[in-house]
Amino acid sequence: MAKHKTHYEDCDVLVVGGGMAGTGATFEARHWGRDMKIICVEKANIDRSGAVAQGLYAINCYMGMQWGENQPEDHVRYARNDLMGMVREDLGYDMARHVDSTVHMFDEWGLPMMKNEETGRYLREGKWQIMIHGESYKPIVAEAAKTGVLDRSNLLLMKK
Amino acid sequence: MSTFVYMTRCDGCGHCVDICPSDIMHIDENIRRAKNIEPNFCWECYSCVKACPNHAIDVRGYADFAPMGHSVRVRREEEKGTISWKIKFRNGTTKDFVSPITTKPWGKFIPKLADGDKPNQGEINSQRLYTEPEGLNIDGELPVVPKDSFKKGVYY
C-alpha cells in the first residue's frame, strides 16, 4: 500500500463504480451536462466489470408500452404484491416508465435482441423479461460511456 | 471454479491482467507468465478466457466436487461476431452453443453526444431522459402520475 499514490481531481459529477448503472449514468450525465467535468471511477476495466461482466442473456424488465404489453402502473402493482408492500412505489414507477427507451437504445447500439419475425416484438421469457444474446451487454454500454463521452477531454475514466 | 493458465501457451501479454474485474490475474515476476494469484476470489466470469489471444486460460472446478474431467470452454471471435461455448459433461456428452455478440459494427451506432444539440433549460428541467419521449416509441409523452397518488410508507 505504501507505493500507492493519491490523485486529486475536482469534478462536477462523480460516478462511483463503472458497472452497468455507472457507465449508463456517465453517458446520461454527459448528455445533460455537456460542459461538466464528469468522472467515473472504477477499480477494474469497464469493459468487463460489475455484475454483468460475464454477459447476461436476458433483460429482466421491459414494459413493451409501444405494443400495449405492460404499463408502468402494472409494474408498480407487481412489485408491491411481490414484496408484500415493502416498496417505494414512486421509484418503481419512475424506473418502469424509463426502461423502454433505455432498452431501445441498446437495440440501436447493436445488442442482439431476439424478436418475433412476424410481429417484430421482442421475445419474452416471462411477463417482464425479454430475451437477448447478452455476451456483449456490458462492453456495448461501456463503449457508449467511452465513445459517446470520452471525446470530451473533461471526462476521465479511471482505472485501478 | 477458478482460472488457471497453460504456461506453454501464455506469452505474458497481460490482456487478462487488464480485464480481470477481481484484479487477481497477475504476471509472475520470475517466469513472465500470467497466473491466478487468488483462486478463491475468482468470479468465474470468463472475462480473461475471452480476452486471451493465445487461448492460454482455462477454468476448472475444485477437485473435491468436480474431479471427473468436465470442461466449459469458450471462444469469443470479434471478427466473426460470435461467441462459442463448448460444454463437456463428465459422462462424455458435449453441448455446443454459438451466439452473436453484436448486430452492428462495433461502436458505430453509439451517438457522439458532443456533436448533438445541447439540451435547453426547459429540457433539463423536464422529467425526460436522453432520447425521450421519441425513444419510447409511444404516441405522446412520457407517462406521468401525480406524486401524491402513491401510497405513503409501507402496507402491513
Per DSSP bridges, beta strands A38-42 and B82-88 are: unpaired
CB contact under 8 A, A32 and B44: no
Taking the CA of residue A33 and the nearest CA in chain B, the distance in Å comes to 9
The string of pLDDT tens digits covering residues A98-126 is: 999 999 999 999 999 999 999 999 999 99
A3 band by pLDDT with thresholds 50, 70 and 90: confident
Q: Give the 3-state secondary structure of chain A.
A: CCCCCCCCCCCCEEEECCCHHHHHHHHHHHHHCCCCCEEEEECCCHHHCCCCCCCCCEECCCCCHHHCCCCHHHHHHHHHHHCCCCCCHHHHHHHHHHHHHHHHHHHHHCCCECECCCCCCECECCCCCEEECHHHHHHHHHHHHHHCCCCCCCEEEEEC
B148 band by pLDDT with thresholds 50, 70 and 90: confident
| Calpha distance B26→B33 (Å, rounded) | 8
Name the β-bridge partners of A113. Answer: A132
Q: Which three cell numbers stand for residue A94?
A: 419512475
Query: ipTM of the assembly?
Result: 0.86
CA-based nearest residue in chain A for residue B128: A98
B153 band by pLDDT with thresholds 50, 70 and 90: low
pTM for this entry: 0.87
Residue type, position A50, single letter: G
**Cis peptide before B133, with omega less than 30 degrees from 0?**
yes
Q: What is the pLDDT of residue A40?
A: 87
The string of pLDDT tens digits covering residues A52-102 is: 888 999 999 999 999 999 999 999 999 989 998 888 888 999 999 999 999
Q: Who among B21, B109, B133 is closest to A108 (CB)?
A: B109
Q: Which residues contact B20 (CB under 8 A, 6 or more apart)?
A: A44, A45, A48, B47, B48
| Calpha distance A98→B129 (Å, rounded) | 7
Q: Which three cell numbers stand for residue B60?
A: 476448472
Q: What is the pLDDT of residue A156?
A: 55
Which residue, among A130, A131, A148, A97, has the nearest Cα to B108 in the 3D structure?
A: A148
Q: What is the pLDDT of residue A159?
A: 47
The string of pLDDT tens digits covering residues B124-133 is: 999 999 999 9
Dihedral of CA atoms B73, B78, B83, B85 in degrees, nearest 10, equals -20
| Calpha distance B152→A40 (Å, rounded) | 34
CB A90 within 8 A of CB A108: no
- Mean residue pLDDT of chain B comes to 89
Contact list, A92 vs chain B (CB under 8 Å): none
Marked catalytic residue, from B9, B18, B31, B43: B43
pLDDT surpasses 50 at B102? yes
| Calpha distance B8→B47 (Å, rounded) | 20
